[in-house]
Amino acid sequence: MTDIVPELLEAIKKDFEKQRVDSKKIQALLKLLEDGQATYKDAHAYAVEVGEILSKVLNVHITAETLPDGKMYFNIADRVLNETLKNNYSLVSDYTEGVQARLNRQVGLKLRAQRPDFDQDRVKGFVNKLSSADDFTDVQWVLGDPMVNFTQSVVDEAIKKNAKFHSDAGMKAVIKRQVKGKACDWCRGLEGTYDYPKGTPNEVFHRHENCRCVTEYYPEKKKARQDVWSKQWRKTSIHDILKEEKRRDTLPLEDIQLPKSLSAKARDVYVKKYYGVKRNPLDLEETYKIRPGSTITNVEVIAGKGVRAPIRDIARLVRENPGSIKRNWQKVKGWAFLQDLEGNDIGEFEVHWYQCENVGKIEFKLKEW
């Protein structure tokens, strides 16, 4: 029997990639991610779309006619599903990683976004089911909704893993689940906001066939507090969630275009690795500069004027900059291209600085880890 898998996989991959790249939905969702606007809701939408494309493509290329004896043999199902579902898994976990990294930054959590685990057992289940029937058409349904369901579950797993990671670190974690579309009683009953892990029933991370419910996670830079309510399921209204989101908003600002070094007003912008720590000022290795002519992007106020968080170092800033007004100071972050002092590029990094009317931008430093 000739091995049909290499050719089959090639055709599936090619078709899948074409549809994925052409999808307007995917383009829009990737743009959101790139702009730092994507939420877990968008991750779900992305996963559903990626899952639906895969399901469509599999159903075009795998039929009773194209399979030997009209049967899905174990080794065909095994190779095709492992490869294609692993690809969906990594596409979606790239997306959730971007979303979570942004959420963490937003609340000032210096923790790495966690990638979900690949659910190998579930793929094994699909493979066994597909190869269990002598007639492929009896099990063809596995290539329908279960492919979408599996892909969307990657988002649920990402949420669970990050919530657990934060909760293990002693942080407060809150999971939200919302129904989407026609929802059954089971899903309606699960809608709500839950403290994680106590108070979160495991079903919150499960989805039955054709369930498109949306799970979300809001990290908070707050130590978990033991209280009498934490043992109960706590359901909060959507208004409470929105209020919460507003309170910790950061304030986005325009990109900053630096002048080129040849222009008259050009002045190098130095970035230090440390501030506030007494170090040898001649220690050049601790100092970088922002590449002249480059652009600082994703600029956001994270403390001070315009946002909720106060500036911790405000007393010193006012003292060292006489004439500046306390309420006008802002702590700002952005992504900048850094060079060493010889002008060699070393990469794009998150930098923080302070700024104030009449003072300007001062104390550029690398984000602490």
Per-residue tokens: 303:
């403390």
Site string for Zn ion, 137-176 (x = CB under 5 A): ----------------------------------------
Distance in Å, CB of 207 to Zn ion, minimum: 6
Q: In this complex, which beta carbon is closest to Zn ion, that of residue 173 or of residue 211?
A: 211
- Residue 209: CB partners within 8 Å, gap ≥ 6? 145, 146, 149
Distance in Å, CB of 236 to Zn ion, minimum: 19
Helix (H/G/I), strand (E/B), else coil: 217? strand
Which residues between 23 and 62 bind Zn ion (CB under 5 A)?
Answer: none
Distance in Å, CB of 122 to Zn ion, minimum: 18
Instruction: Decide: 322 and 330 in contact? Cβ < 8 Å.
Output: no
Residue of 336, 333, 357 whose CA lies nearest to 347 = 336
Q: In this complex, which beta carbon is closest to Zn ion, that of residue 188 or of residue 367?
A: 188
| Residue 202, number of CB atoms within 10 A of its CB | 8
- By CB under 5 A, the count of residues binding Zn ion is 3
Contact status: 187 vs Zn ion (CB under 5 A): yes
Q: In this complex, which beta carbon is closest to Zn ion, that of residue 107 or of residue 183?
A: 183
The per-residue DSSP string of 298-328 comes to EEEEEEETTSSSPPTTHHHHHHHSTT--GGG
Q: Quick one: DSSP state of residue 227? A: -
Which residues between 264 and 283 bind Zn ion (CB under 5 A)?
Answer: none
Q: In this complex, which beta carbon is closest to Zn ion, that of residue 50 or of residue 187?
A: 187
Q: In this complex, which beta carbon is closest to Zn ion, that of residue 189 or of residue 306?
A: 189
Q: Which stretch binds Zn ion (CB under 5 A): 184-192, 229-237, 280-288, 347-355?
A: 184-192
Instruction: Decide: 257 and 297 in contact? Cβ < 8 Å.
Output: no
Q: Residue 90 and residue 106: Cα distance in Å, rounded? A: 24
Q: In this complex, which beta carbon is closest to Zn ion, that of residue 187 or of residue 258?
A: 187
Q: Residue 29 and residue 48: Cα distance in Å, rounded? A: 12
Q: Quick one: DSSP state of residue 259? A: P
Site string for Zn ion, 201-240 (x = CB under 5 A): ----------x-x---------------------------
Q: In this complex, which beta carbon is closest to Zn ion, that of residue 187 or of residue 301?
A: 187
Q: In this complex, which beta carbon is closest to Zn ion, that of residue 136 or of residue 150?
A: 150
Distance in Å, CB of 212 to Zn ion, minimum: 6
Q: Residue 366 and residue 290: Cα distance in Å, rounded? A: 11
Distance in Å, CB of 192 to Zn ion, minimum: 13
Instruction: Decide: 96 and 155 in contact? Cβ < 8 Å.
Output: yes
Q: Residue 213 and residue 204: Cα distance in Å, rounded? A: 10
Q: Residue 151 and residue 44: Cα distance in Å, rounded? A: 9
Distance in Å, CB of 247 to Zn ion, minimum: 29
Q: Residue 201 and residue 224: Cα distance in Å, rounded? A: 18
Distance in Å, CB of 214 to Zn ion, minimum: 9
Binding site for Zn ion (CB under 5 A): 187, 211, 213
